[in-house]
Every structure is written in C-alpha cells, then in structure tokens.
Amino acid sequence: MNQLSLNLVAIGIFTITMTSLLGPIINVSPLVPAIATAGMLGLATLDTLSWRGQGSTLMLDWIARFSAKHRDRVIRHEAGHFLVAHQLGIPAVGYTLNAWDALKQGYPGQGGVRFDSQELEAAIEQGKLSGQLLDRYCTIWMAGIAAETLIYGNVEGGADDRQKLRGLLTQLGLTPAERDQKERWSLLRAKTLLQDNVSAYEALLNAMTQGVAVDECSEALRQHLPQAVSP
C-alpha cells in the first residue's frame, strides 16, 4: 500500500480500537468495530491495487481544502516550479492545484505543474542525456521545495519531486554521494532564481490563485522577466 493509504488505515484502526474498548460503556455492539475494520482494510486494498492510491489522495485533498494555509502553501510550491521552468526554457503546458482538478483533467496524484518533457524523454531513450539538460530538470524539480524553504523555513511537499530526481540520477548510475550533491546544487540554484525574481514570482502567484490559463500565467511572468536565463 502507498503511504497515504497506510496512514488512513492506521488512523481508522486507532479509532476502531478505541470504539471497541469503549463499546461496552456506550452500549455499542462488538460487531460494529469488527465490520468497520474489515471494510476499511478492504477499501484500502482496493484503493492501492485498483485505483493506485488515488482514492486516499482525493480524500486527504478534500480534507486539506478546508485549510487556507495548506492551499497557500500548495500555490507557492507550484509557482516555484512554474517560474524556474520558465526561466530555464522548459515551457509549462498546464497546472492543477489539487487532486480533484488533476483527476478531472485525467492526471493521477495531487496535481501540480506539467512541463513539456519530450526533449528529456527523447534524450533518455537515446542515451544522449547531456549534463546541461539534466541540470535544468533537476533544478525545476527542486524549485517547489526551494519556494517552501524560502517562504516558510520548512518543507511539507516535494516528496514526488525528490523521487523523480533521485530516480533519474539512480538510473544514470550516480552514487548516493553524487545524487545528494546534485540535489543540493539544484536546490541552491532554484533558490537563487526565485530570490532574483521576487516581483515575477508574486505576479505569478496572483495569476495562479485566480486559476487563469497557463498562457496567462506565462504572460504574467514575461511582463517581469524580459529574458530567460542561460540554461
């Protein structure tokens, strides 16, 4: 099972255990927690095997929607990806800010910024991935974490981003020490790009908060970023 499903199962089992212990006091039949336990485990298994964890992702996303702080952090995280990708010449082709919108658009997971990755995929398939192209994508993947770190001083999201970066570096044969070094370097470069373009970042945040189309987000950046940096 994925971590989200396991977390939900753990919370559910704890609740059911307490119900079992308190059941005799509040006149609840022992069958109730037993049936609930079996049902929860069955749903978690179905979610993992058939829905690839999307059910638990949607549930947690629905709960998180009631937190303004969580929504703000998500937007700031994704805006970090968007701005850095724009600066490094990798165009964004779309974005979603929650799992529900991602599902409606046919994408699994919790949403995020989607990029034109054809060049990267072609280079990997042909075994001709240059260090320059690798650096660009690694920096983009770490940009959401960089944004959270700069704004909040800590990171809550970015697990999938780190997984993508480390997975590719492992595939390329880098050692653990080399992977860690590349991750730190990419994070530092992403922070620098964000710090050097604060006004553009704020304009992008405003656009993404309004939910405007990706082209309008890019235009908001272009008004503050007359020229992309050298890859």
Q: What is the per-residue pLDDT for 214? A: 94
CATH number for 68-222 (one of 3.90.1150.10, 3.90.330.10, 3.40.640.10, 1.20.58.760): it is 1.20.58.760
* Residue (of 64, 67, 60, 51) closest to 11 by Cα position: 60
Instruction: Identify the pLDDT of residue 51.
Output: 46
What pLDDT does 193 receive? 96
Quote the Cα angle for 36-41-43, to 5°. Answer: 95
Q: pTM higher than 0.85 for the full model?
A: no
| φ, ψ of residue 84 in degrees (nearest 5) | -65, -40
Q: Is the dihedral of CA 171, 129, 142, 4 positive or negative?
A: negative
- pLDDT tens series, the chain, 231 aa: 444 444 555 555 556 565 555 556 656 555 555 565 555 555 555 445 444 544 555 455 554 555 678 889 989 999 999 999 999 999 899 898 876 665 666 565 567 899 888 999 999 999 899 999 999 999 999 999 999 999 999 998 888 899 999 999 999 999 999 999 999 999 999 999 999 999 999 999 999 999 999 999 999 999 987 555 545
Predicted pLDDT of residue 227: 56
